């Protein structure tokens, strides 16, 4: 790691791949990552870079729960979880110890899916387009983000753990994802911390 500030530090590159079971395209794949891989960017949150790009946007449709950005079209949109359609496989996490579906991309932008004890809320724009092969394994700086001033990938503390002096938490198991976004308002926007529902593929959409 490089030198760190109180809010963020440089991130490492490379990814330790986990293992899982592969089933037919009509079945969900159950799997666990290794102990190291389970730490790679699996904290809930949103990128501050993405929140700035998509100020005023949010995603509440369970079928398209992830806020993302397309560089080609320069617009924000809501997308499905990438592990719900992984080359014909539908991944899911149904164990009590590792109930949250997570994803990462290696240097070749190859998708890796896994199950974690902690929820993840991340965008493909950050993980795949801007920072493929980067991960954050320090529990104090678990959020992979992009520094638009230095033009580099960084690992930062959760934005909602020190928002205007307040640490936000999500204690309701039905809404476990601590999500950061920004609303319109002023030059810097209005920061918002909220608890979102677990990302699960809606029933009736599991078959490809």
Residue 19 has pLDDT above 50, yes or no: no
pLDDT of residue 6: 44
Position 208 scores a pLDDT of 29
Q: Give the model confidence (pLDDT) of 58-99 as tens digits.
A: 999 999 999 999 999 999 999 999 999 999 999 999 999 999
Label each residue of the chain as H, E or C: CCCECCCEEECEECCCCCEECCCCCCCEECEECCCCHHHCCCCCCCCHHHHHHCCCCCCCCCCCCEEEEECCCCEEEEECCHHHCECCEEECCCCCCCCEEEEEECCCCCEEEEEECCCCCCCHHHHHHHCCCEECCCCCCCEEEEECCCCEEEEECCHHHCECCECCCCCCCCCCEEEEEEECCCCCCEEEEEEECCCCCCCCCCCC
The pLDDT of residue 10:
46
pLDDT at 33 over 90: no
> In this predicted structure, what is the pLDDT of residue 139?
85
Is the pLDDT assigned to residue 124 strictly greater than 90?
yes
- What pLDDT does 152 receive? 97
pLDDT digits (tens, 9 = 90+) for 103-114: 999 999 999 999
Average pLDDT for the chain: 80
- pTM for this model (two decimals): 0.77
Q: Is the pLDDT of residue 34 over 80?
A: no
**Which pLDDT value is given to residue 187?**
79
């Amino acid at each position: 790691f490089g030198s760190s500030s109180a809010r963020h530090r440089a991130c490492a590159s490379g990814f330790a791949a986990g293992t899982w079971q592969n089933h037919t395209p009509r079945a969900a794949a159950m799997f666990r990552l290794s102990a190291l891989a389970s730490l790679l960017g699996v904290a809930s949150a949103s990128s501050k870079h993405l929140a700035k790009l998509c100020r005023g946007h949010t995603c509440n449709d369970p079928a398209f729960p992830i806020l993302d950005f397309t560089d080609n079209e320069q617009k924000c949109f809501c997308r499905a979880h990438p592990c719900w359609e992984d080359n014909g496989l539908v991944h899911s996490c149904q164990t009590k110890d590792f109930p949250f579906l997570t994803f990462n991309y290696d240097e070749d932008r190859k998708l890796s899916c896994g199950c974690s004890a902690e929820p993840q809320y991340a965008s493909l724009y950050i993980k795949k387009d801007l920072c493929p092969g980067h991960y954050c394994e320090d529990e104090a700086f678990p959020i992979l983000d992009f520094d638009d001033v230095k033009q580099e990938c960084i690992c930062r503390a959760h934005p909602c753990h020190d928002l205007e002096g307040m640490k936000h938490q999500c204690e309701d198991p039905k809404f476990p994802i601590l999500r950061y976004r920004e609303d319109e308002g002023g030059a810097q926007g209005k920061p918002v911390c909220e608890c979102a529902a677990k990302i699960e593929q809606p029933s009736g959409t599991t078959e490809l």
